[in-house]
A and B are shown apart, each in its own frame.
Chain A
Amino acid sequence: MGQTLQRAAQWTTATDGHSGKLEFSSLNEDLLNTVLNFAEGPSGKSPEEGKLVFKKPLTWTTALKPSAFSGSGYIEKGTSVVSEATSPKDACPLLELSGNKLSVLSLEQAENVLRVAGDRKMVELRACLEENKDPVANMLGDRFATVDGADNSIFRYHEEITKEIELLSKQSDESEEKKRELEEKKLVLSLRLKLLRLDEHMLNASIIKITNDVRLNPKIVDGEVTVLKQVSGEDNNRYALQFINYFGENYVYQNGCRAQPWRQLNGDICYLVIKCFDVDHPLYVTANTSGYYLNKGPSKEKSGQLEYERPDSDTYRELVTMIKAKSPHFAEMISKQEIQDVFTKAGFRTGLEDCHLAHWRRHAWAHKSDRKPTKKASNIHETRSRSTKTPLAEQEDHFSESSTESEEEEEAIERRPEANADLPSEYWQIQKLVKYLKGGNQTATIIALCSLRDFNLTQETCQLAIRDVGGLEVLINLLDTDEVKCKIGALKILKEISRNTQIRRAIADLGGLQTMVKILRDQDKDLKCLAAETIANVAKFRRARRTVRQHGGIKRLVHLLDCVKLNSTVMTPEMEMSVEVARCGALALWSCSKSKKNKEAMRKAGAIPLLAKLLKSEHENMLIPVVGTLQECASEPSYGLAIRTEGMIEDLVKNLKSSNQELQMHCAAAIFKCAEEKETRDLVRQYGGLDPLVGLLSSGTDDKQLLAAATGAIWKCSISPENVQRFQELKAIDMLVGLLHNQPEEVLVNVVGALGELAKDPPNRMAIRKAGGISPLVNLLTGTNQALLVNVTRAVGQCAEEPDNMIIIDKLDGVRLLWSLLKNQNRDVQASAAWAICPCIENAKDAGEMVRSFVGGLELIVSLLKSEDKEVLAAVCAAIANIAKDEENLAVITDHGVVPMLAKLTHTTDDKLRRHLAEAIARCCNWGNNRISFGKERAVAPLVRYLKSKDENVHRSTARALFQLSKNPENCITMHEAGVVKPLIKMVGSRDEDLQESSAGCIGNIRRLALANEKARYS
């Protein structure tokens, strides 16, 4: 009965961790009844079989109370009950009920349970079956567990028993033990056979039940009507019907029914009017969920209304059967071949064929192919194939497992609509050609492939048509054959249509990438080229790129790059071909190089030296994919280094001067990404790359990508002071400032970044002002792009170093804008804004007044000391140091609790933060009893440790802070205890006068305290 339970029974889907439940359906009810009969009744069980002890108990949660088992044979033990009968082997009770768990070890006991349960036996059985999905395995052992496919357990068991009997007969006087064991085995076998019979019986019963259960639904009706419409017309020699139409209003309700809602309550789906050639009056038919039957036709009194009564009681399962019964002409015509074809194509039974199973299978296929996304999931066919789908299909899926893949394919093709006006003519032509591809030998295949190429394959209709008629599968299958010509033809088409994103995905889904990767190793160079080009098109999305890598495609593509001499004076056709192969390989790698892991794989496969070699090429169509790949990969540090060490910078610079904008763009982008390294920047300058970069700005190009790449390269290159020099000579600033207007953000980010770097050189600050760059920069502070804001704040900050610039910034209210950026979510923006504020305060006139005018500004900046980002903290400390120069502001920030917050930060080990923190502490000491507060907050001892840092800047500001703090005697004591004197004495010897002075001052303070102390002691 395992099979039935697994297959026929209707289970609910398992939820919340429990196994599924049996649905409350009539089918399940019948199954349960059969099982119940078997378990309860004597039906063929012998008493020995009833006593057979199960291998594992059947355990389930019961609703039975222990008290139910009162009486003989059972012993009560507190809340649990056990049976007196025990298993002979381990003396385990055959029945045990503890709590609500019931375990049963023999059929006899199970029978008892059911008897005890009385009218609730059904509930018990249901619970038992739900919790023991495979009861047979429990009862007779795991060897009889239900399996899919051939079940040989019985035969094996039978063999085993026969063998043992033979053995026993040979050594007849052997122990009694063996005989008993054998008896038991025989019992198991007979019980197994009986259970098997039960299983079979139930399966058969359920099939009958299922077939009876098929009810009409709107989709079936619509499908049948559509088919019958195809065989209706005026000519009675050619058509089976005169006409068939829906009767009544044309409105279709959401559930697909056409009958009025109140009639739908009766199960009516729609009404039909059918005119046969040999019946005088038209037939009026009601399509009801129970089947088709006649109605009395339009009412005479009320126009447009039907009389719903039935003139006879005949109900038909199919419309065709019904019409056949009414019209002999139809019955005759329907048997003709043409009409039969229409029906079979539509997947409908005409009633002539008896093979119901075949019909089911067809439904099951329709159902399957619907589910497979890769199989013609196009909208055009979905409607049709759905119309043939019945609820039956789902249940019958199991019975149609024998159907092979190829049959399925044919079915799917045959079900296509015959004539659909919406489709372009190309669709039909392509369908025809694909048919030749499928059914022809290699000659026909080649003709069809060549002919397919004559279509405009760049057009989406054609691309999708090929997919929709199942052409992609065939094309990809062709790649697996040995026919070089077929492969070339197929790839030529795939290469074109893979420009379409949907096709790309479909190719990847169908496993085309794996095959193409295999082809990359072929002898034929044409084939390699085409495969690589197609991969280049397909690998535009992540999954495809991963597939290429996982199947070793990267290695093979890299191998393609390895070609003979590139620019030799004499090129044989063969050499040209191998260069072409390399070009296609580079194209594919370009697509693949968008994934990080692929970049790594390429590097490992040795792509870099090969790319370096190809970079020497003179042909743009080669250079673009090569530089494109390099540019993608340059974001990886390992590539950046390799690009420099392999001497590619020179070639990149050379190609910057090319006349091809795309090539220029990729070269500039590659330099942009590589120029993070100082050596690379120097090389760019040495090879004269700065001039063409600036030249790109002045070329007045509209190509934004090119501009973005060029300005990006300028930005990174201007990190080196020598390059700044050259840019100055080239008057790059004027051009960059010109680009601050009307450019997209990706250009602006780089332009502003470049200006920020250039402005580190004082003369450039003036140049920016003179070029009118300050005001657009300040205006950009109102933007939202975070990368842009980081660069803008930096640039504004650099400009603010110049007092003249500061006047303009102040006038434009730039400081307020900077200040408000402290509220930005992005830490980089916060830090950068805080840094920019420092020079503003330094250089603004009436800075104190200005800062006070920002409502809540001081509170905001103090609160940023809670940030976790070191860079933000350092920047804020620097800003606070500047703010604290103004006494009033210092008072305000002291009120906001700046002292304990600064003191809390003193444990940091970050030198940058230490430097600015010490500076801020030094400045903040100048108010009230802040010195004492710092001491109380234990800020002094950590500061002393800063003197061990290696950074001079840290020493200077720390010494200053210590000098300030040492004006308080308590602090002096703390410092002295922390061992401040020794390092300070060393610093007095420093060359830095500032450091000398502060250190000496601090030592002086400590010394004075000591002297005063002594004085007090002796006086």
Chain B
Amino acid sequence: MASKHGRQAKEQAVTNLLKCTRLDREEISLLIDRFSDLCQKEEGKLHRLEFRDELNRFFNITDDILMDRVFRAFDKKSSGTLKVEDYVQGIGKFLNGTIEDHVQLCFDAYDLNNDNYISREEMFQLLKSCLVKAPTEEDPDELVKELVEIVMKKMDKDHDGRVSLPDFRAAVEEEKLMLEALGKCLPDEKCKLTFQEMLRMSGGRYSSANSVSISEQRDKNARRNQKGHQQKTMIF
């Protein structure tokens, strides 16, 4: 499908990306294909909404604020759309980034106003919807504030009333679970596996607009998982 020129350009892009991600050549190539499939509105540029769809569907990240924040964290040049490099590098961090990559990504996502600190207000914003079943007699805002204080106590190592990147890093080193303490912005293992398998199965080549095929794919995935499960059961 691609012209000779196009193929060369892609080769070049893969080689470039190979240096700045921990992915292998094949994965990068697949991701580039996937990227061009995702870009429905404008070729070579992934729009916010399209990206959100992707996050929602494959990485199980559902919070509105955080989806936007992850988009921004991917969007290095703050151009409002994702270039293919942004996409591949970002997903690369998702799939097999180091702890440091993840810390940086989460911190960027939580730092709503990009001032390199997470403040109480930002935490409040992030946590305000996390009490699903607030007891009636207490003010839900009050409860969220208390929750913010708990997080603050755990993270603010230098006691300056805000959380800096070193603070955050130290807290995560101390307790790995704190990495996503302010909301889910990384995929879990299962999502990663499904996504990678999807890439490999389809060669990144199916239209995201075609929802029927997605659901089919999902069914397949589900069935495959089930099968895998059964096999495991037999082994055990």
Which residues of A are interface residues toward B (Cβ below 8 A)?
A: 341, 432-433, 435-436, 438-444, 446-451, 453-454, 484-485, 488-489, 521, 523-524, 555-556, 559
| Other A-B pairs beyond A439-B132, A439-B134, A443-B183, 7, CB < 8 Å | A443-B180, A443-B184, A444-B147, A446-B177, A446-B180, A454-B154, A489-B177
In the complex, the number of residue pairs spanning A and B with C-beta atoms less than 8 Å apart equals: 69
Q: Of A432, A450, A484, A556, which contacts B178 at CB under 8 A?
A: A450
Q: Which 8 pairs show the lowest CB-CB distances between chains A and B? A: A439-B133, A444-B130, A441-B130, A443-B130, A451-B150, A443-B183, A440-B131, A489-B177
Known: A450-B154, A451-B154, A453-B175. A444 touches B189 (CB 8 A): no
Inter-subunit contact A438/B133 (CB<8 Å): yes
User: Cβ of B182 < 8 Å from any Cβ of A?
Assistant: yes
In the assembled complex, which residues on chain A have CB atoms less than 8 Å from the CB atom of B180? 443, 446, 485
| Pick from B134, B143, B183, B236: contact of A556, CB under 8 Å | B236
CA distance A717 to B62 in the complex (A): 68
Q: Are B150 and A555 in contact (CB under 8 A)?
A: no
Give CA–CA (A875, B105) in the complex, Å.
84
Beyond A439-B135, A556-B236, A559-B236, whether A488 also contacts B130 by CB under 8 A is: no
Check: B18 CB closer than 8 A to any chain A CB.
no
Shortest B191–chain A CB gap in Å is: 11
Complex partner residue of A450 from B175, B183, B188, CB under 8 angstroms: B175
Q: When the two chains form the complex, which single residue of B134, B181, B232 contacts A521, counting CB atoms closer than 8 Å?
A: B232
Of all chain A residues, the one with the shortest Cβ separation from B129 is A441
Residues of chain A contacted by B181 (CB below 8 angstroms): 443, 446-447, 450
Interfacial chain B residues near A442, Cβ < 8 Å: 184
A446 to B182, CA, bound (A): 9
Residues from chain A with a CB closer than 8 A to the CB of B178 are 446, 450
B24 contacts A by Cβ under 8 Å: no
Residues of B within 8 A of A (CB): 127, 129-135, 137, 143, 146-147, 150-151, 153-154, 175, 177-178, 180-184, 188-189, 232, 236
Residue among A433, A440, A454 facing the most chain B CB atoms (10 A cut-off): A440
Contact indicator B131/A488 (Cβ below 8 Å): no
Q: Which residues of B contact A521 (CB under 8 A)?
A: 232, 236
Docked pose: A435 CA to B177 CA in angstroms: 19
Min CB gap B45→A, angstroms: 32
Task: Evaluate contact between B182 and A443: CB separation under 8 angstroms.
Answer: yes
Shortest A708–chain B CB gap in Å is 39
Tell me which residues across on chain A come within 8 A of B184, comparing CB atoms. 442-443
Which residues of chain B are within 8 angstroms of A443 by Cβ–Cβ distance?
A: 127, 130, 180-184
| Residue from the list A447, A489, A523, A524 in contact with B151, Cβ < 8 A | A447
Q: What's the minimum C-beta distance from A555 to chain B, rounded to whole angstroms?
A: 7
Instruction: Tell me the bound Cα distance from A488 to B188 in angstroms.
Output: 13
Question: Which one of A450, A451, A524 has the highest number of Cβ atoms from chain B below 10 Å of its Cβ?
Answer: A450
Q: Which residues of B contact A484 (CB under 8 A)?
A: 188-189
Which residues of A are found within 8 Å of B147, using beta-carbon distances?
436, 440, 444, 447
* Sampled A-B contacts (8; CB under 8 Å): A432-B146, A436-B143, A443-B127, A446-B181, A450-B178, A454-B154, A489-B177, A521-B236
Q: Are A341 and B137 also in contact (CB < 8 A) when A450-B181, A485-B177 are?
A: yes
Closest to A489 in B: B177
A436 to B129, CA, bound (A): 13
In the complex the two chains form, is A441's CB within 8 Å of B150's CB?
A: no
Of B143, B150, B154, B181, most buried by chain A (CB within 10 Å of CB) is B150
A436, closest chain B residue (CB): B147
Provide the bound-state CA to CA distance between A556 and B232, in Å.
Answer: 12
Q: Complex: how many Å from CA A448 to CA B149? A: 11
Residues of B within 8 A of A444 (CB): 127, 130-131, 147
Task: Tell me, rounded to whole Å, the shortest Cβ–Cβ distance linking B60 to chain A.
Answer: 10
> How far does the alpha carbon of A523 sit from the alpha carbon of B130 in the complex, in Å?
28
A439 to B129, CA, bound (A): 11
Docked pose: A453 CA to B171 CA in angstroms: 13
Residue pair B154, A524 in contact (C-beta under 8 Å): no
CB distance from A581 to the nearest CB of B (A): 15
Which chain B positions have C-beta within 8 A of A556? 236
Q: List residues of chain A with CB within 8 A of the CB of B132.
A: 439-441
B133 surroundings in chain A (CB, below 8 A): 438-439
Distance of A147 Cα from B37 Cα, bound (Å): 63
Indicate if the CB atoms of A447 and B150 lie closer than 8 Å: yes
Complex Cα spacing A697 to B143, Å? 63
Which residue on B lies nearest to A485, using beta carbons?
Answer: B177
A361 CA to B232 CA, complexed, in Å: 48
Chain A residues with Cβ under 8 A from B135's Cβ? 435, 439
Considering only CB atoms, which chain B residue lies closest to A520 in the complex? B236
> Which residues of A have CB within 8 Å of B130?
440-441, 443-444
The minimal Cβ–Cβ distance linking B234 to chain A, given in whole angstroms, is 12
Q: How far is the CB of A796 from chain B (nearest CB, A)?
A: 57
How far in angstroms is the closest Cβ of chain B from A580? 15
- In the complex, what's the smallest C-beta–C-beta distance from B85 to chain A, in angstroms? 30
B236: chain A residues within 8 A (beta carbon): 521, 555-556, 559
**Which A residues touch B131, using CB under 8 A?**
436, 439-441, 444
Q: How far is the CA of A439 from the CA of B132 in the complex (A)?
A: 6
B135 to chain A, nearest CB (A): 7
CA distance A453 to B131 in the complex (A): 20
Q: Which residues of A contact B232 (CB under 8 A)?
A: 521
A435→B138 CA distance, assembly (Å): 12
**Cα distance A438–B134 in the bound complex, in angstroms:** 9
Residues of B within 8 A of A432 (CB): 146
Name which residue of chain A comes closest to B146, CB basis. A432
Q: In the complex, how many angstroms separate the beta carbon of B146 from the nearest chain A beta carbon?
A: 7
Complex contacts, B137 vs chain A, CB 8 Å: 341
Give the docked Cα–Cα distance between A449 and B236 (Å): 31
Residues of B within 8 A of A341 (CB): 137
**Nearest residue, chain A, Cβ from B193:** A523
How many angstroms from the CA of A676 to the CA of B234 in the assembled complex? 39
**Shortest distance from the beta carbon of A477 to any chain B beta carbon, whole Å:** 13
B177's partner among A433, A488, A555, A559 (CB-CB below 8 A) is A488
Tell me the bound Cα distance from A442 to B135 in angstroms.
17
